[in-house]
Structure 1
Amino acid sequence: MELRSFTLILLIFTAVACSDEIQESTIGDKWINSDTRIILFDTLSVKSSTLKLDSLIVSGSERVLIGQYDDPVFGKVNSKSYFQFLPTRYNIDSEAKYDSIAFILRYDRYSTGDTLFSQKFLISEVTEDLKPHDQFYYNTSYYDSAPGILTAHEFAPRPRSKDSVHISLDKQFGEILFKKLQDQEITNPDRFLNRYQGLVLEPDHSGTAILAFSKNSFLRIYYTNKEELEDKEEILDLKVLPENTFHNTSAGLTKDPLPSLPIQEQSVPSSETGNLSYIQAGTGIATKIEIPHLKSLEDIEGTGSIVEAKLKFYLNTSKDRTIRPVKDSLRLFIINHRNEIIADVVGYNNQPTIANIEKKEGEFSIIRYSVPIKKFIDDKNNAYDGDDWSLLIYAPNLTSSVDAFELYGEAAAKELKMKVEITYAIYDE
């Protein structure tokens, strides 16, 4: 009986996976009134692919992203940011004289790309009502701006510093704003926003990096008040409204192996993209993992259950680390047949399930992630629509970075291939 059962199990999983190793053991009284055989299926067949979500909600992000760089896979990655402001006060002395206006952009210490080269930002005035077209702002949200630019500012970036970027704006723009405040034409937030929707900062086409800036940035008006002995220098700050300040981020996708991606409901198999699947935060590009043959476990003779299940995959580390950082963990979601996110992947205590680095070798030239997915598999097997469920692997900081990752697929070389390991217990034959 035992030999026939083991042969059946071996045949079933040979049909659905190229199993490198099947291990068997007995754990005796761990199960009541039965000897239990534990079988490890070292490679259960998976299918990996790359897809692009239609949009990402960026409302609520604590930072904004501005810049562009040329990526060897994703093409030209570009991010521009919309800012809305309100003055901290609405009174300026009638005798005061305007001096200048500047945008003070505070670094947020995140960057991607080559920051050794100077960067150039173009600043324009937003002309469309800067409110969400829907309930949220998305990475695809777009608003009209004036045809001319207020300033083109070139600077040497220092993203890791506690410094800020000081951008002098068009003198006339600042002078008109100053005069409206001084003459009491604008005396409250509603009147201000009726006239000034905000500013948009875009990168020049020559950019080589994307930089992050804090929403604690602000506009500053410089002016002087006449005093008896000498003029006194004064400032008036216009603080950023965080709820109406966001970034629009996109990837050009003009290069192999990803010259384009279809609509969200479709994905591109890793077999068509060099046995790699791709992830990029900020642009909606993610890796989909399907596990198509779980039902085959039901064909194993005897009563059994999954004791443990792990998804394991390797990171391609051949790219420049400035555009392919190594992160300690990656996020997972559950998606349906339309590739819509329906839930986080969690454990039995409802804790988030994260793919963590399990193995590093050779100065990080080989990096393997491992993530427990037993609860996902159990829920998938028990849910009425579970057959339609797949996993989606995404980057951390998915709405506030452009971090990118390349994962080896199921058809990669044996030592790098993506796989699911199942530990299966048979305890009643």
Structure 2
Amino acid sequence: MNWRSFTYILLIITAVGCSQEDQESSVGDRWINSSTRILLFDTLTLKSSTLKLDSLIVSGSNRLLIGQYTDPVFGKIKSKSYFQFLPTHYSIDSEAEYDSIAFILRYDGYSSNDTLFRQKFLISEVTQELKPHDQFYYNTSNYTTSTDILSEHEFSPRPGSKDSIHITLDKQFGEEIFKNLQSKEITNSDNFLNRYQGLLVEPGDSGTAILGFSKNSFLRLYYTNKEELVDLEETLDLAVIQGNTFHNTSASLTTDILPDLPPQLESLPSSETDNRSFIQGGTGIATKIEIPHLKSLEDIEGTGSMIEAQLKFYLNTSRDEAIRPVKDSLRLFIINQRNEVLGDVVGYHNQPTVAKIVEKEDEFNSVRYSVSLKKFIDDKINEYDGDNWSLLIYAPDLTTSVDAFELFSEGAEKEKKMKIEITYAIYNE
């Protein structure tokens, strides 16, 4: 039997525990009296903080976010969407008569915050060329629009339905499109996009929710073909150009907890945010976790090896789940000293490393997650530039939701404290 097998047997038959909560050192000092000694300690220093990614690529997202509400931590959360369209055909009978134009917005099932109240959407025409920056649209991308409002539409949201929102637009706007198609002033996609860049849909100031919509939304022209015996009601759809349709999502960050966040190169320590760190989809707000003293493992006397390293952290569940959902798992990523994402944290078989729920603490309004970081720590110690690596946790649906999470930090009270537990075997002293 080799030392590793013997070690695992000892772990199974022995309940080993060592916790020195008041000590901020790198290693503990309680040992098993055995020829192979197993050390379990949870006093390795962690540093958690909140950072904001400068921008998120939203090109390619299938969901569009529109709406706003006020969050107790992040301030006013607002999302607006830019749409670009093309007619499905360019032929309208010369005798046809225009009726109206409508925007058909299809729900995709997502919502955040309170959908019981009526919402208002404002629609205006984009006047600047919709062109991506460096081939991408970002959550910070903005384009000029007309001051004229094509529609102010109030409605009661039904995000869980398979229904859609039918928004009647300004009659003259639709009539102009109709006449340009009917008179052959516009006969192809280039003609159309030279004249019509798209539409912006944004929320009114009194909104209480953000809603998700499908890119299968469309504009619809209604008109009548005059026939000898009966008038035929016809429609012409203008389909969304998915590559040039995207949303812009922001957080005002005007609360006492998060009055602002520094540029991406820096992060805000949890000690300055009530011993919590924060995550939010759509806006790029994420939690950074540093493990600065791994070299101290080399100070342990004797020949040994790290058997396991488990990161444990707690999610604050005291707020309304409508704005603080609980996810079964959260993925971890590696960032460098400039807080740039290098890639996924992976296991020994190259599988993504995922923090999973292991316990719900109703008494303390928290949910505990746990994840193995053994390979990450091995790589951090041994790989070139590993000293500069940290962990990042951001929202599972990073660009397609505004889901937010609050993590208790390493400075939180004992029952909620973020920590890393190291199991270390000494097999030759």
Whether 1:362 and 2:385 are equivalent positions in the alignment is no
The alpha-carbon distance between structure 1 residues 364 and 233, as it changes in their structure 2 partners (threshold 3 A), is farther
Is the Cα–Cα contact under 8 Å of residues 24 and 40 in structure 1 kept in the other structure?
Answer: no
- The equivalent of 2:182 in structure 1 is 182
The offset of 1:23, in angstroms, is: 5.8
- The equivalent of 1:353 in structure 2 is 353
- Please give the residue correspondences for 1:248-397 in structure 2 after superposition, counting only pairs within 5 Å: 248-362=248-362, 365-397=365-397
The offset of 1:363, in angstroms, is: 8.5
Whether 1:96 and 2:96 are equivalent positions in the alignment is yes
- CA separation in 2, counterparts of 1:151 and 1:366? 44
Q: Between the two proteins, what is the percent identity of the paired residues?
A: 73
Q: Structure 1 runs of 4+ off > 4 angstroms? A: none
Is the Cα–Cα contact under 8 Å of residues 311 and 371 in structure 1 kept in the other structure?
Answer: yes
The alpha-carbon distance between structure 1 residues 328 and 231, as it changes in their structure 2 partners (threshold 3 A), is same
Q: Which amino acid aligns with 1:16?
A: S
The offset of 1:428, in angstroms, is: 2.3
- The equivalent of 2:173 in structure 1 is 173
- The equivalent of 1:58 in structure 2 is 58
Which digits, 9 at most, give the CA deviation of each residue in 1:57-115, with x for residues without a partner?
Answer: 11111100000000001000000000011111110111111100000000010000110
The alpha-carbon distance between structure 1 residues 187 and 293, as it changes in their structure 2 partners (threshold 3 A), is same
Is the Cα–Cα contact under 8 Å of residues 25 and 43 in structure 2 kept in the other structure?
Answer: no
Which digits, 9 at most, give the CA deviation of each residue in 1:117-137, with x for residues without a partner?
Answer: 000000010111111022211
- The equivalent of 1:126 in structure 2 is 126
The offset of 1:24, in angstroms, is: 3.4
SS in 2 for 1:410: coil
Is the Cα–Cα contact under 8 Å of residues 26 and 297 in structure 2 kept in the other structure?
Answer: no
Which digits, 9 at most, give the CA deviation of each residue in 1:342-398, with x for residues without a partner?
Answer: 111111111111111111133993310111111111111112211111000111010
The alpha-carbon distance between structure 1 residues 384 and 405, as it changes in their structure 2 partners (threshold 3 A), is same
- The equivalent of 2:8 in structure 1 is none
The alpha-carbon distance between structure 1 residues 273 and 250, as it changes in their structure 2 partners (threshold 3 A), is same
Whether 1:47 and 2:47 are equivalent positions in the alignment is yes
SS in 1 for 2:32: strand
Q: Which amino acid aligns with 2:25?
A: V
- CA separation in 2, counterparts of 1:127 and 1:133? 17
- CA separation in 1, counterparts of 2:408 and 2:364? 15
- CA separation in 2, counterparts of 1:360 and 1:224? 61
The alpha-carbon distance between structure 1 residues 396 and 10, as it changes in their structure 2 partners (threshold 3 A), is closer
Which digits, 9 at most, give the CA deviation of each residue in 1:17-67, with x for residues without a partner?
Answer: 586x956375xxxxxxxx532211134221110011100111111100000
- CA separation in 2, counterparts of 1:23 and 1:219? 71
The alpha-carbon distance between structure 1 residues 365 and 14, as it changes in their structure 2 partners (threshold 3 A), is closer
Is the Cα–Cα contact under 8 Å of residues 36 and 425 in structure 1 kept in the other structure?
Answer: yes
- CA separation in 2, counterparts of 1:10 and 1:323? 34
- The equivalent of 2:68 in structure 1 is 68
Structure 2: gaps of 5 or more residues: 1-17
Is the Cα–Cα contact under 8 Å of residues 353 and 371 in structure 2 kept in the other structure?
Answer: yes
> Aligned match of 1:16 in 25, 28, 50?
25
SS in 1 for 2:318: coil
SS in 2 for 1:149: strand
- CA separation in 2, counterparts of 1:190 and 1:364? 60
Whether 1:227 and 2:235 are equivalent positions in the alignment is no
Which digits, 9 at most, give the CA deviation of each residue in 1:112-169, with x for residues without a partner?
Answer: 0110100000001011111102221100011111111111111000000110000000
Is the Cα–Cα contact under 8 Å of residues 83 and 245 in structure 2 kept in the other structure?
Answer: yes
SS in 2 for 1:69: strand
Is the Cα–Cα contact under 8 Å of residues 23 and 41 in structure 1 kept in the other structure?
Answer: no
- The equivalent of 2:6 in structure 1 is none
SS in 1 for 2:321: coil
Q: Which amino acid aligns with 1:143?
A: Y
Aligned residue pairs total 411
- Name the stretch that deviates more: 291-300 or 359-368: 359-368
- The equivalent of 1:6 in structure 2 is none
- CA separation in 1, counterparts of 2:218 and 2:294? 55
- The equivalent of 2:147 in structure 1 is 147
Is the Cα–Cα contact under 8 Å of residues 122 and 152 in structure 2 kept in the other structure?
Answer: yes
- Please give the residue correspondences for 1:28-39 in structure 2 after superposition, counting only pairs within 5 Å: 35-39=35-39
Is the Cα–Cα contact under 8 Å of residues 25 and 39 in structure 1 kept in the other structure?
Answer: no
Which digits, 9 at most, give the CA deviation of each residue in 1:276-309, with x for residues without a partner?
Answer: 0000011011100001111100011122221111
- The equivalent of 2:418 in structure 1 is 418
- CA separation in 2, counterparts of 1:181 and 1:347? 58
CA-atom RMSD, angstroms?
A: 1.8
Q: Which amino acid aligns with 1:24?
A: I
- CA separation in 1, counterparts of 2:161 and 2:365? 29
- The equivalent of 1:162 in structure 2 is 162
- The equivalent of 1:4 in structure 2 is none
- The equivalent of 1:31 in structure 2 is none
SS in 1 for 2:266: coil
